[in-house]
Amino acid sequence: MDPDRFTHVDEMTWRIEPKGAMRVPAIIYADEALIRDMDDKVHEQATNVATLPGIVRASYAMPDAHWGYGFPIGGVAAFDPDHGGVVSAGGVGFDISCGVRTMVTGVAADKIPPLQKALADSFFRQIPAGLGSTGAIELDTDEMTAMLSGGAQWAFERGWGEARDLERIEENGRMAGADPACVSERARERQRREMGTLGSGNHYFELQAVAEIFDEAVAGVFGLKLGEVVITIHCGSRGLGHQIGTDFLKEMVVAAAETGIDIPDRELACAPINSDIGQRYLGAMRAAVNCALANRQILGHHARRVFNHFFPSADISLLFDVSHNTCKVEEHPVDGKSRSLFVHRKGATRAFGPGHPSLPAALRTAGQPVLIGGSMGTGSYILVGETSSEAKAFSSACHGAGRSLSRHAALKRWSGRKVVDELAEQGILIRSPSMRGVAEEAPGAYKDVSSVVMAAERAGLARRVARLRPLICIKG
């Protein structure tokens, strides 16, 4: 994008002034290099979001922003139901509650090399991955409903994971307000055998080493130590979430027209929060959040079991589990008054600062862990939420590196087999059922995650705590 299209507020803040149908400005947080590398569609989509009814303060985009469906990926917007605010399925995304879970092992990374191949093979056997992947769990009608209501709590009650996990999961492992009755039979059928599976696309399971510590005090609170191994899982609500998005986008196109909402892009289909369809979508979306939380809880259980087979004395504890694609009711100050807002985060993560009451007591003094996925070869980061993020973007931060090339372009440039071999030479073992999928997710198809993270820190969204180096990656 051309930086001259923006008002350059400060080093990391680029503002699109309200014009035409825009109700508020659009703001992108990034350095100039990241702005120049962003697709022009990010400008267009951030501007379009700013036209939606009931939007509060601004339409925001994170440093990893890129073209998405309706909202840019990396988009954040909050809506007030008392001022005609809307909910948009495109503002949540199809992979509802796609998120990240990081677990601390306490095992030194130098113990991994002799066992690395065996570990990689074992993880790959035990964690179903790939397009349409299914697992050993099959849910009947009653169990499907219980899962959609109970989330990770349902999973724990059935023997997956540990009780201490729940306090380290967003919403304590269960999203309130879920309404399984709003989930279509087609969505349920797609999920019937997909619990405990990784899926495809950018989803992954990684064994990682803590390669660098930036904040010793916060790292201590998080249980992170230089040279130790952590486990990270990135996945979401699989076929169920995708079907819910598909079902309600069709309805919302009609609802927008019927309620007189003029949307600049069909992909921004939305409905008033207080309407029947708005409430039904929220009930179904919250059920999908619970599906994703349950899915990551089951995968975390499998990860513990495999890792403990090789390291029986390892005490594997959950650092945090946080979602990216959601719409949540949160209290935020606006013009000096606290207001209950519906915050859409699409490809963005919640990043509450120190002292926030929703955080578990053990983390409250430090702030929320912000888990940033990189790519198979470049590593990931753990950040911590900053108090300043509240005023910046409703306590939000970036969620990953962000794509710089489409999957189609990546396939033209890389061979999956070559990517696997080159990463093996760097000591990173890849396991995947699809070499095509590996090529689509080649490290070069993503932005430089370190640049994205630095931009988030300099913008006051979140602060670096640790950098993680991949050792083993299971890709869908």
Residue 250 is part of a domain; what is its CATH number? 3.90.1860.10
Q: Which domain holds residue 83?
A: 3-475
Convert the pLDDT of each residue in 403-426 to its tens digit: 888 888 999 999 999 999 999 999
pTM of the entire predicted model:
0.96
Cα Rg of the chain, angstroms? 21
Q: Is 309 a catalytic residue?
A: no
Convert the pLDDT of each residue in 70-99 to its tens digit: 999 999 999 999 999 999 999 999 999 999
Whether the pLDDT of residue 15 is over 90: the answer is: yes
| Distances from the Cα of 126 to the Cα of 111, 159, 269, angstroms | 21, 17, 39
Q: What is the DSSP string of 307-348?
A: HHHH-TT---EEEEEEESSEEEEEEEEETTEEEEEEEEEESE
Taking the C-alpha atoms of residue 443 and residue 439, their distance in angstroms, rounded to an integer, is 9
Taking the C-alpha atoms of residue 320 and residue 87, their distance in angstroms, rounded to an integer, is 27
CB 151 within 8 A of CB 174: yes
Which pairs from 107-112 meet CB under 8 Å and 24+ separation? 107/228, 107/229, 107/307, 107/311, 107/314, 108/227, 108/228, 108/229, 109/209, 109/210, 109/227, 109/228, 109/229, 109/471, 110/227, 111/311, 112/207, 112/209, 112/229, 112/471
DSSP code for 72: P
Convert the pLDDT of each residue in 23-59 to its tens digit: 999 999 999 999 999 999 999 999 999 999 999 999 9
The reported pLDDT for the residue numbered 443 is 87
Dihedral angle at the C-alpha atoms of 62, 68, 70, 75, nearest 10 degrees? -10
Q: What is the DSSP string of 25-46?
A: -EEEE--HHHHHHS-HHHHHHH
Pick the catalytic residue from 301, 356, 399, 408.
399
Secondary structure element (H or E) that encloses residue 303, with its range? helix 276-310
| Number of domains composing the chain | 1
Q: Which residues of 326-352 are buried (b: 16+ CB within 10 A; e: fewer)?
A: bbbeeebeeeeeebebbbbbbbbbbbb
